[in-house]
Structure 1
Amino acid sequence: MSGDNRAPFVVAHRGASALLPEHTLAAYELALEAGADGLECDVRLTRDGYLVCLHDRTVDRMSNGTGLVSEMTLDELRDLNFGTADRPASVLTLGELITLVLDWRSRPTKLFIETKHPVRYGALVENKVLAELHRFGIATPASADHSRAVVMSFAATAMWRIRRSAPLLPTVLLGESSRYLGGSAATSVGATAVGPSVRTLRDHPDLVDKAAAAGRATYCWTVNEPADVRLCAELGVSWIATDHPGRTKGLLAAA
């Protein structure tokens, strides 16, 4: 991940999640068809050790079931509907999403994987993510710029674990301005990029230049408003995560 003078790359936040249920295969396929340069997902571990693409600790908000993800098996999750009544969808595993990304032949697409913390399984989450990336042959890229996967977290310890085990894998330390405006947190864990919210970026537009001066890219979330898309482009943000990948690509192309 590196910044340049071109328009920001567009990352589909949980897929084309403004149009279809988040973290579903259909939402990610729609994002790819809309021209997204990257796909973003959150991952959690099931009780039997599988990584699934879900943001919340529970399944209550996005499915027709209830309960903690960490207390359910993959088969139990697959019995639930994460789509709609007229368009049901199964829970998506990280392996299935990686397969979609690698099989997409129109253009190379990056997968941005956010590990959720704190969780009952602790460091096992990062270990499982790395194992899955190794299984698909993308855990040790030739360089950060050519990596097909990026790992992100709000937890500095999670980023440290990834950098220690896979030094060429790009990482994004997510968080608000107090965490990294001075750069110390990102420096201590060796993160290759910082990930402010768009609200933080509005308040601290100099953050992008400060990150670049330290050799880091900037990943901004969640950028949905046209004015914020233009702001990110003007400031030189490297990657912008949005619920509207197709619309955002159009805005950038017209700028």
Structure 2
Amino acid sequence: MTKIIAHRGYALLYPENTKVAFDAAYHEHSQGFELDVHLTKDGEVVICHDDKIDRTSNGSGFIKDYTVEELKSFDFAAKFPVNDLYRHTHAEQIMTLREYFEWLDGKNIETNIELKTNVFQYEGIEKKINSLIQEFGQQESVIVSSFNHKSILRMKQENPSLLCGFLTMYGMLEPGEYCRKYGVEYYHPYHLTIDEDTILDCQKNGVQINAWTPNDAESIKKILDLQVSRIITDEPKLALQLKKEMLLTE
């Protein structure tokens, strides 16, 4: 049965990749969260999508050039528009992966950690992430993915039993065979690139598909019909509702 994963928390209605976004997705009964990680100047793993903090905070510059303490001084909701559910009553600090795992304690939730190692390699980030996963006992609940497939192979070298996924933006030839060749369990395609050949090749090679990010009802229904392993979406509440309705009509 397809699981519904909240993309960067409930990022449609709350500031992405912040505690308030994860709280909201959890209260909507999302079955997992997708989040993005970088390394700070002082070697801490922090949660943010972009290499720079300009879009998501009232600061500017690259994450790699700041310490955690310096990053904590910025408001990561400063540019997010208020709405009926989110009123921006206080600053939202950047979260470390450690803080996220501490918050996650006791919750039966999956986590998809995306390594943002496309622009900067962040030497040693794979080792740090594996150490945190082991420290908090999250190995059975974590999938690590990246568009940088070499980074995923480094993750596998660090911990061969950790579940991993290759992210892609464009359609691949024989993606299942490619994932199997490198011992990677999941294929993470952009949802519009999934076709019958993709499904059949992944099935043939024992590779599961986690699709991102269908956000409208028609797209979500289409991906649900394909019975992929997971849907990563900005609309977890809608996706969960559609999943329930489709199960009731089967």
> Structure 1 counterpart of 2:162, which letter?
L
Task: State how far apart, in whole Å, the 2-side matches of 1:193 and 1:180 are.
Answer: 15
Matched positions, count: 237
2:163 maps to which of 170, 175, 178: 170
Gaps of 5+ in 2: 79-87
Q: Quote the residue 1:194 is aligned against.
A: 187
> Structure 1 counterpart of 2:204, which letter?
A
> Structure 2 counterpart of 1:46, which letter?
T
Task: State how far apart, in whole Å, the 2-side matches of 1:211 and 1:119 are.
Answer: 29
Gaps of 5+ in 1: 1-5, 140-146
Q: Quote the residue 2:142 is aligned against.
A: 149
Give yes or no for contact 2:9–2:33 (8 Å, CA) kept in 1: yes
Task: State how far apart, in whole Å, the 1-side matches of 2:179 and 2:170 are.
Answer: 12
2:241 maps to which of 232, 250, 253: 250
Q: In 2 relative to 1, CA 182–250 (structure 1 residues): closer, same or farther, beyond 3 Å? A: closer
Q: Give, in angstroms, the shift of residue 96 of structure 1.
A: 1.4
Give yes or no for contact 1:110–1:149 (8 Å, CA) kept in 2: yes
Q: Structure 1 residues 58-67 or 209-218, which shifts more? A: 209-218
Q: Quote the residue 1:127 is aligned against.
A: 127
Q: Quote the residue 1:143 is aligned against.
A: none
Give yes or no for contact 1:159–1:189 (8 Å, CA) kept in 2: no
Q: 1:1-255 residue pairs with structure 2 within 5 A?
A: 6=1, 8-84=2-78, 86-104=89-107, 108-139=108-139, 147-179=140-172, 181-201=174-194, 204-255=195-246
SS of the residue aligned with 1:103?
coil
TM-score by length of 1: 0.87
Give yes or no for contact 1:18–1:244 (8 Å, CA) kept in 2: yes
Q: Give, in angstroms, the shift of residue 178 of structure 1.
A: 4.6
SS of the residue aligned with 2:223?
helix
Q: Give, in angstroms, the shift of residue 209 of structure 1.
A: 2.7
1:200-241 CA distances to partner (integer Å, 9 max, x unpaired)?
Answer: 12xx24312321221011000011011111111111111000
RMSD: 1.6
Q: Structure 1 residues 211-220 or 177-186, which shifts more? A: 177-186
Task: State how far apart, in whole Å, the 2-side matches of 1:242 and 1:22 are.
Answer: 12
Q: Structure 1 residues 224-233 or 184-193, which shifts more? A: 184-193
Q: Give, in angstroms, the shift of residue 184 of structure 1.
A: 4.4
SS of the residue aligned with 2:21?
helix
TM-score by length of 2: 0.89
Give yes or no for contact 1:47–1:73 (8 Å, CA) kept in 2: yes
Tell which has more relative contact order, 1 or 2 (C-alpha 8 A, sep 6+): 1
SS of the residue aligned with 1:220?
strand
Task: State how far apart, in whole Å, the 1-side matches of 2:169 and 2:69 are.
Answer: 37
Task: State how far apart, in whole Å, the 2-side matches of 1:61 and 1:83 are.
Answer: 10
